[in-house]
Amino acid sequence: MLLHMFLAACVQITSKGNVAENLAACSRLTSEAAARGARIVVLPENFAFIGIHEDEKLAIAEDVEPTGLHGPIVQACLDMARQAKVWLFAGGMPERTPDPKRVHNTCLVVSPEGDLASKYRKIHLFDVQIPGGAEFQESKSVIPGSEVVVVETPHGRVGVSICYDVRFPELYRELGKRGAQILIVPAAFTMHTGKDHWHALLRARAIENQAYVVAAAQYGRPNDKRVCYGHSLIVDPWGTVVAEAPDREGIVVGEIDLSFEDKVRRELPALRHARL
């Protein structure tokens, strides 16, 4: 039975090079979110590890399979979802591939029973060179995914994306066509791009798809090479920011009201008016 009104939460952290410490922070904040009533919890991209060099993630990459023995990152996510009794969307972690020099950037979807319900592999990779700003070549160490993922939960149908995906509205239109009511955007947006684009992009994705957006972000300086914007957001289908994280580690909790979403879609039926 669909629960029309509930709370969702974003975990905002500053992940660094110590996997165990990062996972402990995620577990603590997920438990805090659950204690405040959250039914869905989103961890940011790179929640388990941010190194100085892109290829450092290869050493901690894990297989992501529904059953069998799990590595420490996957197992920690299964444990924290089960212990907190929440649907956990674990932002983005390095999933091992047949290529020894590249991984997938994978979001894990874990049920409250601690089962791996689904996974999404980041489709759009962050290859940019902005002098004095962001300079990354994600494709050197990451293989792009190709599958659009919508997960059925008791709290609605959830469309999954990661960070740089948010600049590609065609992905979200496809998620909407597949019934997504909530759009998940775990991210590690840079300060340079985030200060100008983060709010605008997330509000646009919410408005044009008439869906809730839950965007958990990295915050602060994980190392000397990188500064993350933070400002984890929950945006409603009208484009209103219903919750925003301050400039520190922690959680932000906001209400998801699918009845309000139905009202927006009924009164302004733009999704049914689409011609292309």
Instruction: Tell me if residue 225 falls in helix, strand or coil.
Output: coil
Q: Please state the domain count of the chain.
A: 1
Judge contact between 217 and 42, C-beta under 8 A: no
CATH number of the domain within which 265 lies: 3.60.110.10
Of 10, 26, 163, 228, which one is the catalytic site residue? 163
Q: Is residue 163 flagged as an active site residue? A: yes
Structure confidence at residue 133 as a pLDDT band (50, 70, 90) = low
Q: How far is CA 63 from CA 125, 142, 272, in A?
A: 20, 14, 40
- pLDDT at residue 200 above 80? yes
**Section 213-242 average pLDDT:** 96
Q: Give the pLDDT score at 242.
A: 98
Predicted local confidence at residue 59, as pLDDT: 95
Contact of 218 with 44, CB cutoff 8 Å = yes
Of 45, 62, 138, 261, catalytic: 45
Q: Which domain holds residue 64?
A: 5-273
Least confident of 46-55, 116-125, 233-242, 254-263: 46-55
Per annotation, catalytic residue among 95, 119, 122, 228: 122
212 DSSP β-pair partners: 182
Pairwise CA distance, residues 77 & 108, whole Å: 8
Q: Is 249 a residue of the active site?
A: no
Let me know: does 45 contact 105? Beta carbons within 8 Å.
Answer: yes
Residue 53: per-residue pLDDT: 84
> Tens digits of per-residue pLDDT, 57-92?
999 999 999 988 999 999 999 999 999 999 999 999
Q: What is the pLDDT of residue 1?
A: 59
Q: What is the pLDDT of residues 149-188, one digit of tens each?
A: 999 999 999 999 999 999 999 999 999 999 999 999 999 9
The pLDDT score that the predictor gives to residue 54 is: 79
Range 175-184 burial, b when 16+ CB lie within 10 A, else e: bbeeebbbbb
Known active-site residue 107: no
